[in-house]
Amino acid sequence: MMPQGIDIVFLGTAGSVPTKERSMPSVAVIYDGSILLFDCGEGTQIQMLKYGLNAQRLKAIFISHIHGDHTIGIAGIVRSLAINGRKEALSIFVPRGSERIIRSLIVFDRVTIGYPINIIGVRQGTVYRGRGFSVSAFRLNHTVETYGYAVAEDSKLRFIKERCDRLGIRGTMYSELEKKGIIRINGKGIRLKGITRLQEGRKIVYATDTRPAAGTVRAARGADLLIHEASYKSSEKALAVSRKHSTSEEAAGIARKAKVSKLTITHFSARYRDASQLLSEAKAVFKNTIAASDGYRITL
């Protein structure tokens, strides 16, 4: 069996304030038809409509920190879901101690919301389990308590096609083998051992807003994709340090240390009309780097 695709859609790639080209921070990870949102800046629901994401498939929102540019979009999404008749519960994860602030975004106009909303305070470690994957939180280094998130697919047994073909395994035999662990072909017992291999699951790591952090390197070790903020060029490093953000060069350094497969930089300061200089600096350190734009989609 071939693994299903994991889609990552960048809904907003601006930092702090929007521009004509870039909306406020939010990234959607789509797995098995379900949507996980990482941060939810102003206008996120509009971006979901624009880029073809059905908000009714939203399972959970993971907030990195409580600054408004990463949270204000929650108010609109929960209302739209209510108006459209949602019944399924929605989970919103925030740094522990920030739950009351998120609750205020939901109840401020006393709108009737006819589905459960679970606001969950997080610390480091596994915070969410879905079907076939988990989400873990790790601490970042920003001006307020901030967490990054790692989406890790479960490791799975994969059939070795060449061996299966030689043994005559076809069609429903695969599902029978998975269920029973053994089938018989021409009187011979065929077991999973020897015709399968354990395939390590894919991993996506999201880290913003932050200075370069050792915890990000640990969380992203060997990841298929690291999404890391790159608010400033290296010439603006003093500003990055004072505001506890990262330069594009520093983001690339994290990717190199963690030995990730791909780096996508995002969360660009509005002072840059385009991200070409940021991308050039990052690629000089870590070649397989992409600068995200609103609507950019990656499939793993």
**Which residue in 259, 261, 300, 264 sits closest to 29, CA to CA?**
300
Phi and psi, residue 236, nearest 5°: -105, 25
Phi and psi, residue 51, nearest 5°: -105, 20
Contact (Cβ atoms closer than 8 angstroms) between residue 97 and residue 184: no
Under the phi-then-psi rule, with left for phi > 0, alpha for psi from -120 to 50, and beta for the rest, what region is 217?
alpha
Residues that are catalytic: 69
Q: Tell me how far apart the 2 most distant CA atoms of the chain are, in Å.
A: 73
Q: What letter represents residue 273's amino acid?
A: R
Copy the structure tokens of residue 250.
Answer: 């520093």
Distance separating alpha carbons of residues 91 and 149, to the nearest angstrom? 15
